[in-house]
Structure 1
Amino acid sequence: MPVKSLDVVTYGEAMAMFVASESGDLAKAKSFVKRAAGAELNVATGLARLGFRVGWVSRVGRDSFGRFVLETLASEGIDSTAVTIDERYPTAFQLKSRNDDGSDPEIEYFRQGSAASQLSIADYRPEYFQAARHLHLSGVAPAISASSLELAFHIAGEMRAAGKSISFDPNLRPTLWRSREIMADRLNALASYADWVLPGLEEGRILTGLASPHDIAGFYLARGASGVIVKLGSAGAYLRTARQEATIPAAPVAKVVDTVGAGDGFAVGVISALLEGRDAHFAATRGNLIGAMAIQVSGDSEGLPTRKQLVDCNGPLKQHR
């Protein structure tokens, strides 16, 4: 069967996520709502809702959680033909607290020995990846196992050699690495394949040892990036390319409900705009807007807009129509 053409392809781990129904200590929660979670899956979901053709590559177990992930992909219109059902290893899951005060929720992961941790170069299908015009990578999937890290470098090298554009969000998970030094070394090396690097300010400081957004961006520009956008939280985003430098104000937020997924929403905004041929300033502005939309709704991806919702929203992109 011929591979469908894709706008974006990404790979990573998706988990079943159980979110507490009541606010407070996770240990005291008695009921939960099941959702699907995963940094790369959030980005794939957001781009698919905006009308892009998106492929997602992973491994899931032959279990109910795996079926749930596949059903979620289908419901969002994400292509799953390159997802392998693993006969030996299970699909991971996580527990997440509900925090009505807008603070970061408590999250407990149950992912050791998961099906996705078995991802390796054997999961690279050149005809599938190269059917896409853009590759999005995050720092989560490379952290889950040595073989998945090897796969990340292989994908990045092959896609760059094929002339595809690449975005990279560090999305740090220090507890999954043997040390912060190893994490910084490997993720900075992976970032060198990317056209666009999208670190948070604190992530950039950890990875580069530099303090200012200007210097963090310069670090990645010197290593081959075309552009860097540093996420500044409520202060917006800092953009730097070889010919442009700007701080883009944050989009207004009425109330912070759930901070998880803000960075993924930002990536959705940036990538979607760049794929549409928009300029970097517009891309960062849309990133701020979708990131703001994401944190005003409970759930990692529930706040990611459809194309109609994006157009209809009363945000800073109105002036760019």
Structure 2
Amino acid sequence: MSAAFLATPITRIGLIGECMVELRSQMDGQLGQAFGGDTLNAAVYLRRLLGGAGVQVDYLTAVGDDSLSQAMRACWREEGIGDERVRVLPGRLPGLYLIQTDADGERRFLYWRGEAAARECFDGADAQPLLAALAGYQVLYLSGISLAVLTDTGRERLFAALREARATGTRLVFDNNYRPRLWAGVQAARTAYQRLLQLTDLALVTWEDDAALFGFADEAALFAQYAEWGVAEVALKRGARSCLVQDRQGRQEVDGEAVARVVDTTAAGDSFSAAYLACRLQGGTPDVAARWGHRLAATVIQHPGALIPRAAMPAMPALSLSLTAQA
């Protein structure tokens, strides 16, 4: 998998998850409103980075029939993200979260999502067309939050559909994003993650999350376990520290980029994951993909909120660069 993520050109990618209404505290005490969520953030950044590559990026979820849900979908379409596979559940609403940041840019989230439409994305007979459509994507991307917000029934139906899709050649990308409060208990989360990781081709892992979930003593233990589960490629995110990347060719360490002032760390991991995947899908090697991830994440954390203005998107290192070359 070092040369390219897939042997054939990519034309369709589906990202599964939950988009929420984002409220952000501002300096004047007012609240700014936007839309966000881990896989939606990744979808936006992925689409921006693949804009000229002829790749269709779809978001797969469920929303309500309210005005906020309609505005949400309009924002996706403005970013070039397809919403044809979105389920509309009458009478339901999107979830909501509030971001509070401290002087160092570290954030705290408050959530209201218990009745969100996305919870029932794969429930009921009307979900069958969406489940069947998963096999039509060359790449599917989901996160630990994508799994956590579903009902037990919906999660089981998703697992079955993912197994069928992978059997027909679909590649699965998983971002661990472990949020303990979304799970009934740590064992339930571990079981779900293990099942998904055994289907995963590329894992985009935040070290702190996996250390908390699985109790890994160090990075070596994590890589050994992922290899046992059959994950072909792992990118281990360690915040401001270097990233560790392991595939069948071995392991590499890629330094991050210095940031003079952190404004808001929201979506740092999501943007890293999107840039890493975008690079790999265009033929970049894992070490260059990690540099893409660092470059975008370093830019994102210098802006408030999950999604930076399109004009602020940074130039990426050339796909052919080695670790020692200059961007």
Normalised to the residue count of structure 2, the TM-score between the two structures is: 0.87
Matched with 1:138 is: 143
Out of 190, 211, 223, the position equivalent to 1:217 is 223
What is the CA-CA distance between 1:317 and the residue it aligns to? 8.3
Structure 2 CA distance, aligned partners of 1:168 and 1:33?
A: 30
Structure 2 CA distance, aligned partners of 1:124 and 1:196?
A: 26
Matched with 2:46 is: 47
Matched with 1:257 is: 263
What is the CA-CA distance between 1:204 and the residue it aligns to? 1.9
Matched with 2:78 is: 75
Confirm or deny: 8 A CA contact 2:87 2:121 kept in the other structure: no
> 5 Å matches for 1:7-26?
7-22=12-27
Matched with 1:38 is: 37
Structure 1 CA distance, aligned partners of 2:311 and 2:164?
A: 32
> 5 Å matches for 1:1-321?
6-22=11-27, 29=29, 31-50=30-49, 51=51, 52-99=55-102, 101-120=103-122, 122=127, 125=130, 128-144=133-149, 145-302=151-308, 309-311=314-316, 319=325
Amino acid at match of 2:111: Y
Structure 2 CA distance, aligned partners of 1:219 and 1:69?
A: 39
Amino acid at match of 2:85: A
What is the CA-CA distance between 1:123 and the residue it aligns to? 5.1
What SS class does the counterpart of residue 169 from structure 2 fall into? coil
What SS class does the counterpart of residue 297 from structure 1 fall into? coil
Structure 1 CA distance, aligned partners of 2:153 and 2:79?
A: 28
What is the CA-CA distance between 1:86 and the residue it aligns to? 1.0
Structure 1 CA distance, aligned partners of 2:158 and 2:262?
A: 33
What is the CA-CA distance between 1:268 and the residue it aligns to? 0.7
More deviation, 6-15/170-179: 6-15
Normalised to the residue count of structure 1, the TM-score between the two structures is: 0.88
More deviation, 246-255/146-155: 146-155
Per-residue deviation, residues 68-106 of structure 1 (Å, max 9, x unmatched): 21111111010000111210321111122243x234222
Confirm or deny: 8 A CA contact 1:294 1:303 kept in the other structure: no
Amino acid at match of 2:119: S
Amino acid at match of 2:269: G
Number of corresponding residues: 308
Structure 1 CA distance, aligned partners of 2:235 and 2:106?
A: 23
What is the CA-CA distance between 1:136 and the residue it aligns to? 0.7
Matched with 1:26 is: none
Per-residue deviation, residues 24-48 of structure 1 (Å, max 9, x unmatched): xxxxx4x211100111101110111
Amino acid at match of 2:110: E
Amino acid at match of 1:74: R
